[in-house]
Amino acid sequence: MSEPIRVLVTGAAGQIAYSLLYSIGNGSVFGKDQPIILVLLDITPMMGVLDGVLMELQDCALPLLKDVIATDKEEVAFKDLDVAILVGSMPRREGMERKDLLKANVKIFKSQGAALDKYAKKSVKVIVVGNPANTNCLTASKSAPSIPKENFSCLTRLDHNRAKAQIALKLGVTANDVKNVIIWGNHSSTQYPDVNHVKVKLQGKEVGVYEALKDDNWLKGEFVTTVQQRGAAVIKARKLSSAMSAAKAICDHVRDIWFGTPEGEFVSMGVISDGNSYGVPDDLLYSFPVVIKNKTWKFVEGLPINDFSREKMDLTAKELTEEKETAFEFLSSA
């Protein structure tokens, strides 16, 4: 058996974590021979609930879980981490302006970024899930200057998986038969699900999605809006936000960082935009197509971008720039 790795999940008493923790503990993220010390962080009023989660994890009798630590203290939670999955954030409440939401979250992620900087390993991989995920991730990264900014990513894999699934459903194939969808930009309703590079396996051979579907109107219209607004649709139906699918996407995202992406396939994740070749301004945390090898991501280069895509990519970049400016005003005063 290898040495245990230390994995933190924040917002650990919440519903996404409840769907996520078992998958981390049973080896489906870091491999079946990787022991784990699992650290659970939440706010003080949630410690009673967190104790219940701790009991359940113990009751799962998972052989890979060397230890489970439940805490409300950052100096305990962030110590010597290999992986930090930041799920906890201030949720948007009714009547709350996006600006107020940003302000509350800047405070949280500034503090957590500083804790990463002070206590975690410099090689730590940080995955931000809590919304607004892109800007929260940028805030954490800026607050942890001694950790390489490439080590920070945010979750757009749920959008990626949603896009994949919609195409698979429309064609009557499995999601595995659909590859290379792209989510560009912000994890918000301005995100752009791009299908121009998608390959679909039909009757044993790979074809482009436009050829496979022969329904350009759907791909440019209903498909895009369905993916963009899927989160809201789930809330409307369940009266709760996506948890099972969010947890599955986190597992996919982290597993790909750990083990790399399959040959000939790329995935979407929010990463620092510096040095991209797609005309996205530097210093934004923007979702791109990436390939991953040796725990290091690289942009997928040289994809042709048509006018339809360009407009949508610029729109979401503009939103992210505005969010960043608002967040940074709060960051300097927080």
pLDDT at 233: 93
Catalogue all structural domains in the chain, each as residue range(s) with its CATH number. Answer: 5-154 (3.40.50.720), 156-321 (3.90.110.10)
Report how far apart, in Å, the C-alpha atoms of 78 and of each of 88, 111, 184 are: 14, 11, 30
Integer CA distances (angstroms), 134 to 48, 99, 139, in order: 30, 15, 9
Confidence at residue 121, expressed as pLDDT on a 0 to 100 scale: 98
* Tens of pLDDT, residues 157-187: 999 999 999 999 999 999 999 999 999 999 9
Q: Is 276 among the annotated ligand-binding positions?
A: no
Please give the full DSSP string across 266-311, using - where no structure is assigned: -EEEEEE-TT-SSSPPSS-EEEEEEEEETTEEEEPP-----HHHHH
pLDDT, residue 321, reads 98
For 238-257, letters b (16+ CB in 10 Å) and e give eeebbbebbbbbbbbbbbbb
The model's pLDDT over 252-262, given as tens digits with 9 standing for 90+, comes to 999 999 999 99
pTM of the model as a whole: 0.97
Q: What are the structure tokens assigned to 165, written together?
A: 């699934």
Q: Is 80 annotated for ligand binding?
A: no
Identify the pLDDT of residue 333. Answer: 78
Whether residue 98 is annotated as binding a ligand: the answer is yes
Q: Is 187 a catalytic residue?
A: yes
Q: Buried b vs exposed e over 32-61: b needs ≥16 C-beta within 10 Å?
A: eebbbbbbbbbeeebeeebeebbeebeeee
Determine the pLDDT at residue 1: 74
The pLDDT score that the predictor gives to residue 93 is 77
The one catalytic residue among 160, 187, 197, 253? 187
- Residues 6 or more apart in contact with residue 138 via CB below 8 angstroms: 152, 272, 284, 285, 324, 327
Stretches where the chain sits below pLDDT 50 are none
pLDDT of residue 92: 79
DSSP 46: G
pLDDT at res. 158 = 98
Q: What is the pLDDT of residue 334?
A: 59
